[in-house]
Amino acid sequence: MNKDAERLIRDSWMRLVPVRLTAAQIFYERLFEIDPSAKALFDGKPMHVQYEKFVLTIDTLVQTFDFPASIITDLQLLARRHVGYGVHLEQYASVGAALLWALEKGLGSEWTPEVHRAWGELYLFVEGVMKREAAGTATA
């Protein structure tokens, strides 16, 4: 990811920080709309706790662009946990779609094609690392 994309992601995330928990709620609502099977993964769990975890994960990603090895390690650990939760590889696509949709809703007119590309690139990186790890975990 180039420095311009990193800057766009950091700047846009900082604009969302004041409403980050609302953005997380919008993300999950959209995810469950796109992929109703994902809702079963959260049955009985307090969603406000999940919103906090989601926001912390995004914040960590945004703040650690300069440390790719630690990002990869963190994502691999996250992928392993998600395998244990019952997440399927196909669900990563709906997560990406819900994420981009929620960011667009949260940023409004500040959601430009460049910002979309930058976040899309970041999610493709995250998805790639996590799916590779999940596939390896599932077969191990």
Q: 9-13, 26-30, 73-77, 134-138: which range is least confident on average?
A: 134-138
Q: Spell out the domain ranges in the chain.
A: 3-139
Question: Which residues carry out catalysis?
Answer: 92, 133
And the tokens for 132?
């590779």
Each residue's pLDDT tens digit, 93-117: 999 999 999 999 999 999 999 999 9
Average pLDDT of the residues of the chain: 93
Please give the CATH number for the structural domain made up of 3-139: 1.10.490.10
Each residue's pLDDT tens digit, 60-98: 999 988 788 889 999 999 999 999 999 999 999 999 999
Contact present, 107 and 12 (Cβ < 8 Å):
yes
